Amino acid sequence: MTTLGQYIRQARDAKDFSLREFAEKIACSPAFLSDIELGRRHPSDKVFEKIAETLGISLAELKKYDTRPATEDFRVRSQNNPQYAFAFRKMMDSNIDPKDIIKFAEKNAGKKKPEKS
């Protein structure tokens, strides 16, 4: 599956924009754009819009490649229960395969949580 960064790079290359030229057109630094293309950082909604407009693609098409979970939902859940953030960090530090996490979640969906005593 093509990542968001790979998709942006392919579309940029198809338009024959250099990294620096494209970064200037979307009003960001070449380093930031490089990080987006390499998957190290994610663009804001404003930058998403500029990228889509400059590449001549719809914002909806571009966002299809953004596979991040809704950050607002994660932020709210983490504030209400810090164990979500701890569990996420633990998962990332353990290099658990995302497919295993999905299988676990599907297997345990709807199960009642144990009551605290």
At 94 the pLDDT is 84
Q: What is the pLDDT of residues 43-78, one digit of tens each?
A: 988 999 999 999 999 999 998 898 876 666 777 777
How many CB atoms lie under 10 A from the CB of residue 5? 20
Q: Across residues 9-22, what is the average pLDDT? A: 97
Q: What is the pTM of this model?
A: 0.60
Cβ-in-10-Å burial (0-12, 13-18, 19+) of 74 comes to: middle
Q: Residue 2: which H helix or E strand, with range?
A: none
> What was the pLDDT predicted at 112?
60
HSE-CB of 63 using CA atoms within 13 angstroms:
13
Domains within the chain, CATH numbers bracketed: 4-63 (1.10.260.40), 71-108 (no CATH)
Query: Mean of the per-residue pLDDT values for the chain?
Result: 86
pLDDT band for position 6 (cuts 50, 70, 90):
very high
* pLDDT at site 76: 75
For residue 46, the model assigns a pLDDT of 93
Short-list 68, 89, 63, 45, CA closest to 8:
63
pLDDT for 34? 96
Cβ atoms of 36 and 66 closer than 8 Å: no
Task: Report the candidate in 67, 69, 68, 57 with the shortest Cα–Cα distance to residue 8.
Answer: 57
